Structure 1
Amino acid sequence: MTTPPRLPAVRAAATGFIAVIAALGMGHLVAGLLLLPSASPFFAVGNAFIDRTPTSVKNFAVENFGTNDKPALLIGMAVVLALVGMGIGLTSRRSAVPGMIAVVIVGIVGALAVHEQSTGSSSLLAPAASLVAGVGTFLGLHRLAQPRVTTVEPGADQPPVGSLGRRRFVLGSVVAALGALVAGAGGFALARRVDVTASRRGIGELIPTTPAPPIPPGAAFPELGTPPFITPAADFYRIDINLEVPQLRAEDATLRITGMVDTPIELTFDDIRSMPLVEKTITMTCVSNEVGGPYVSTANFIGVPLLDLLDRAGVQGDAQQLVGHSADGFTLGTPLDLLRATGRDAMLAIGMNREALLPEHGFPMRTVVPGLYGYVSATKWVNELELATYDVKPYWVERGWDGQPPGVVPIKISSRIDSPSSFQQVPGGEITVAGTAWAQGRGISRVEVRFDKEDWRPAELATEVNPYTWRMFRLTTTLAPGQHTVTCRAYDGANVMQVQDRLRLINPGPVPDGSTGWQSIVFTVA
């Protein structure tokens, strides 16, 4: 009886690796055909990983990778899957059975992740196709990888079937790998065959019935290093849980208002577009923004007051929160008391800066409730608003964040130094420190700046636009050559001072309370 030949290590590792990428490519292709990006096993596993990631790890990712946290996760997943694939191949040098079992297990994990992330039985077609492609590719390449037999045991008439040589294995591997890459690229292209660009273009410029007051001169100091007062939509910060941005058309969009209401209603995008539109200048901040961080932006949002829509449905007296449901399955709860306190400033927004929302910012529709951190105020890609009690647990509440008063806090008083930057060398003579402060809902009444250990000095404030927006500041002085430390602190409209202590000293990150602390930077005067 012939002893089964042992696969060379390189061929075995390549067999497992290519089988894994073939499985992922096929799964992504079928997900694209179904227009269900979340059905791709690769994205589904990534989203499942995000769901289960401890808050401290998420904070670390945001702090170290910023808005590149999702690409970093995808690259990390790709590396892990490559190692898993090679490991599968190396365990199968003598027999294909261990590897085949391992590929099936990996496929089942992908299917479970898809089932958790997607709705409808059709979404399981993608992981099923992925599993078939993975097993088929593994078995085919394992057979081609068998080394040519040069000796035959007595009584054997010919070498074992499957000893087809190195060249056929290389050719088969190249074909399988190229097929996987083409399938994956095809999946990306198919997922984007919904023409969101044309849908946005068809909306045209959004002209509000009630426009926001014009931004007054002197509201920002971009020539000194602060951001412009209105953030271009493409530069507006983005923080969400999505590895793939939902691709939705306005023509297909509807909004349902359900739950504890007198009359459930359903509105199309055109219904909302035809209503009197209001425009509000609002600064938004992410709860995971660190001291001096970039996750704060301002836009002119255009839409319909949320309270007007809720009045149409008739909110029942026992309702406690407004739960926004996103097309991607995400849910977010806004306490009704806090929503009502903002009056007509809380919006169902369909535009930013007189244009339709960008897909990454919630096109076709999103909610914006000023004065609250995004995790309780901003549902992107919203398709349902549910009135409910606190027994309904939205996404972040299920993960341990507090989404109920009194735990939900207004955005904390914050300030940062935009110029000079840390460790920058500036020319001698007069220097100007410029920065940004915010305390949405209360406004900023003053900002103070301190150099080294000197006394605090009052900074010049930019013109205030409204209490829900940021406010720039600047201070010009002369400093001796050498290294200096500059610190800033702000006061809100009630003259409450920004908290000095860093939250991270007593907590593993700013979530879900928001960061605190005065920012200091070191720079050098030439």
Structure 2
Amino acid sequence: MTGTPQRRELPRLSRPAAAGCGVLALVAALASGHVVAGFVDGNASPFLAVGNTAIDLSPAWLKDWAVRTFGTADKLVLLGGMAVVLVGVAVVAGLASRRSPRPGTTVVAALGLVGLAAVLARPDLGGLAVLAPLASGLVGVAVFRWLHRLARSAAMPRAAGGASRRSVLLASAGVAAGSGVSWLVGEQVGTARDAAGSRARVGRLVAAEPAPPIPPGADFARAGTPTFLTPNRDFYRVDTALVVPQLRAEDWELRVHGLVERELRYTYADIRNRPLVERTITMTCVSNEVGGPYVSTANFLGVDLAELLAEAGVRPEAQQVFSTSSDGWTAGTPVAAATERGRGAMLAIGMNGEPLPLRHGFPARLVVPGLYGYVSATKWVVDLELTTWAARQPYWLNRGWAERAPIKTQSRIERPQGFDTVRPGRLRVVGVAWAQHTGITRVEVRLDDGPWQEAELAREVNVNTWRMWSVELDVPAGSHRISCRATDSSGVTQTEQRSGTVPDGATGWHTVSVTAR
């Protein structure tokens, strides 16, 4: 008697095999998207696009918490957290697919769609960028289904036609190795634009109008303050770029347009061949908490921003300079500040005697003294649009930060540091104060709730830079609090009232606790 052939049912996967299929499919998907992005645009990599979108969608309080908690490692923490979440999702997708590949296929495809949506949402990516998440989704689904079927086949007896466990291991190793190679290729192709090489070829930048030399006595570095000029490697960096944009000077162009009499475009050679001016400027991030580290000083080299805007002919109705970075980030600088001749706003191409470092904006960035960086310091700048506040909303204004952001008068104790143990008796306390574009005229320090004592000020370099201070206190044995406050040249003394960084910068006296014994 002949019966109808029965379809052989493949056995259920073990938990480790199922989870492994999900994780390897995820790795292959991310690697394939990354290598395609290397040929299209680095930010089209689905992993990076999702990370950038997460940053864009984060509320102000969350961004402020991340910077306060993780400092300049906030982006690394974000990427690491995303990786952990994705691996967890991949494991769950695999475990849900022990009998059928459908659940895992659905999850991998859904992750591909998330990557596609993130790429489409990026303002700095063109139409070809969608190729990266599409490749990621297709490869992820294909690898998952292939490994799933191979692993289920290996669970069958060899006599029944099952695959060998060795073939599964080889396939898994091949997927892992291929993914690693693909990621590295994506990295190599992405850096082939050779922004570092372009920077090296710029050579020496010479100022037609150099900054005055830093006078002796401008800091108390031997006693514990920062050096007056911050080395480029130590200059703070706070921005939204997960990956440093790679722009070559040869390809860079700045467009000036909007409410102007004539639209202008400048190449890097156009800017470099102009008479360059060097200015010593202290910059501060609005995310700087009281006593925080996000303040640094450098000699910036470039051209006067007011001159560039004057060449375009700013129309009277223009209210802001809406600047755009190559990665799509935007800032709004009040026209009055950008065009004020005495302020010294710059389009900078150099920093501390060399071309701008890549992480600080090469080929060019804005520097506007006296304003927090989120309205004045666009790095990798490629576009300046003269417009009104109503017409365009910059990145952080859409997230609850203030429209105008003059830097607030602040001071910080450098030595002793919080919770230090010191000897009773005379104690030297040193620190730094800043009130850019106004200048510092007095710093006072007190022990516990005692009287304020005026500190010695280091020599002033200019009103756009920080000022170091030093004072000696009589400290008896025991636990104590040391506080400082600064007064600027307009007569305003910084307030004791504590406020957070949102919406326009922190306030309050910096206080450290020490123990004398």
Identify whether the pair has TM-score above 0.5, normalized to the shorter chain: yes
- Determine the structure 2 residue equivalent to 1:155: none
- For residues 341 and 398 of structure 2, what CA distance do their matches in structure 1 show? 26
- Structure 1 residue 478 displacement after superposition: 3.5
- Determine the structure 2 residue equivalent to 1:90: 95
Structure 2 residue aligned with 1:21, among 17, 27, 43? 27
Q: 1:426 to 1:342 in 2, by over 3 A?
A: farther
- Determine the structure 1 residue equivalent to 2:428: 432
- Determine the structure 2 residue equivalent to 1:52: 57
Letter in structure 1 aligned against 2:398: E
Give the conservation status (yes or no) of the 8 Å contact 1:26–1:126.
Answer: yes
Q: 1:402 to 1:453 in 2, by over 3 A?
A: closer
- Structure 1 residue 340 displacement after superposition: 3.0
- For residues 102 and 379 of structure 1, what CA distance do their matches in structure 2 show? 38
Greater mean alpha carbon deviation, residues 104-113 or residues 1-10: 1-10
Give the conservation status (yes or no) of the 8 Å contact 2:279–2:300.
Answer: yes
Give the conservation status (yes or no) of the 8 Å contact 1:461–1:472.
Answer: yes
Q: Secondary structure at the match of 1:177?
A: helix
Letter in structure 2 aligned against 1:123: A
Give the conservation status (yes or no) of the 8 Å contact 2:305–2:339.
Answer: no
Matches within 5 A, 1:111-510: 111-117=116-122, 118-146=124-152, 148=154, 159=160, 163-341=162-340, 343=342, 345-390=344-389, 391-403=391-403, 408-504=404-500, 510=501
Give the conservation status (yes or no) of the 8 Å contact 2:156–2:163.
Answer: no
Q: 1:378 to 1:4 in 2, by over 3 A?
A: same
Letter in structure 1 aligned against 2:29: A
- For residues 209 and 228 of structure 1, what CA distance do their matches in structure 2 show? 26
- Structure 1 residue 149 displacement after superposition: 5.7
- Structure 1 residue 326 displacement after superposition: 1.1
The question of 1:518 aligning with 2:514 is answered no
- For residues 332 and 232 of structure 1, what CA distance do their matches in structure 2 show? 26
Give the conservation status (yes or no) of the 8 Å contact 1:342–1:369.
Answer: no
Deviations, residues 470-513 of structure 1 (Å, cap 9, x unaligned): 00111123322332211111111122110111103xxxxx1231
Letter in structure 1 aligned against 2:50: V
Give the conservation status (yes or no) of the 8 Å contact 2:375–2:405.
Answer: no
- Determine the structure 1 residue equivalent to 2:3: none
Deviations, residues 251-293 of structure 1 (Å, cap 9, x unaligned): 1111111111111111111111111111111100000100000
- For residues 365 and 23 of structure 1, what CA distance do their matches in structure 2 show? 35
- Structure 1 residue 409 displacement after superposition: 3.4
- Structure 1 residue 147 displacement after superposition: 5.5
Give the conservation status (yes or no) of the 8 Å contact 1:307–1:343.
Answer: no
Greater mean alpha carbon deviation, residues 9-18 or residues 110-119: 110-119
Q: Secondary structure at the match of 1:337?
A: helix
Greater mean alpha carbon deviation, residues 283-292 or residues 176-185: 176-185
Q: Secondary structure at the match of 2:197?
A: helix
- Structure 1 residue 338 displacement after superposition: 2.7
Greater mean alpha carbon deviation, residues 274-283 or residues 169-178: 169-178
- For residues 314 and 306 of structure 1, what CA distance do their matches in structure 2 show? 12
Deviations, residues 387-446 of structure 1 (Å, cap 9, x unaligned): 11111112122223232xxxx131011111011111112345432110010011111110
Give the conservation status (yes or no) of the 8 Å contact 1:342–1:370.
Answer: no
Letter in structure 2 aligned against 1:247: Q
Letter in structure 1 aligned against 2:165: R
Give the conservation status (yes or no) of the 8 Å contact 1:13–1:86.
Answer: yes
Greater mean alpha carbon deviation, residues 370-379 or residues 121-130: 121-130
Q: 1:29 to 1:148 in 2, by over 3 A?
A: closer
Greater mean alpha carbon deviation, residues 234-243 or residues 335-344: 335-344
Give the conservation status (yes or no) of the 8 Å contact 1:145–1:165.
Answer: no
- For residues 60 and 397 of structure 1, what CA distance do their matches in structure 2 show? 18
Deviations, residues 447-482 of structure 1 (Å, cap 9, x unaligned): 110112221111111111111110011112332233
Q: Secondary structure at the match of 1:467?
A: coil
Letter in structure 2 aligned against 1:47: N
- For residues 343 and 29 of structure 1, what CA distance do their matches in structure 2 show? 49
- Structure 1 residue 33 displacement after superposition: 2.3
- Structure 1 residue 4 displacement after superposition: 4.1
- For residues 506 and 157 of structure 2, what CA distance do their matches in structure 1 show? 71
Letter in structure 1 aligned against 2:116: A
Q: Secondary structure at the match of 1:100?
A: helix
Q: TM-score, normalised by structure 1?
A: 0.94
Letter in structure 2 aligned against 1:202: R
- For residues 342 and 46 of structure 1, what CA distance do their matches in structure 2 show? 40
Q: Secondary structure at the match of 1:379?
A: coil
Structure 2 residue aligned with 1:65, among 38, 49, 70? 70
Q: Show structure 1 runs of 5+ residues with no match.
A: 153-157, 505-509
- For residues 370 and 303 of structure 1, what CA distance do their matches in structure 2 show? 14
Q: Secondary structure at the match of 1:500?
A: coil
- For residues 354 and 332 of structure 1, what CA distance do their matches in structure 2 show? 26
Give the conservation status (yes or no) of the 8 Å contact 2:309–2:339.
Answer: no
Deviations, residues 100-151 of structure 1 (Å, cap 9, x unaligned): 1211111011011112114222111111211121111101110121165668
- For residues 69 and 191 of structure 1, what CA distance do their matches in structure 2 show? 23
Give the conservation status (yes or no) of the 8 Å contact 1:306–1:344.
Answer: no
Q: Show structure 2 runs of 5+ residues with no match.
A: 1-5
Q: Secondary structure at the match of 1:251?
A: coil
CA RMSD of aligned residues (A): 1.6
- Structure 1 residue 38 displacement after superposition: 0.7
- Structure 1 residue 233 displacement after superposition: 1.2
- For residues 156 and 35 of structure 2, what CA distance do their matches in structure 1 show? 42
- For residues 515 and 482 of structure 1, what CA distance do their matches in structure 2 show? 30
- Structure 1 residue 297 displacement after superposition: 0.4
- For residues 24 and 30 of structure 1, what CA distance do their matches in structure 2 show? 10
- For residues 124 and 83 of structure 1, what CA distance do their matches in structure 2 show? 25
Aligned length: 509
Deviations, residues 331-371 of structure 1 (Å, cap 9, x unaligned): 11111123234536000001111210001110001111110
Give the conservation status (yes or no) of the 8 Å contact 2:154–2:168.
Answer: no
Structure 1 residue aligned with 2:106, among 65, 81, 101? 101
Give the conservation status (yes or no) of the 8 Å contact 2:497–2:507.
Answer: yes
Letter in structure 1 aligned against 2:399: R
Give the conservation status (yes or no) of the 8 Å contact 2:409–2:487.
Answer: yes
Give the conservation status (yes or no) of the 8 Å contact 2:12–2:99.
Answer: yes
- For residues 254 and 33 of structure 1, what CA distance do their matches in structure 2 show? 21
- For residues 401 and 487 of structure 2, what CA distance do their matches in structure 1 show? 27
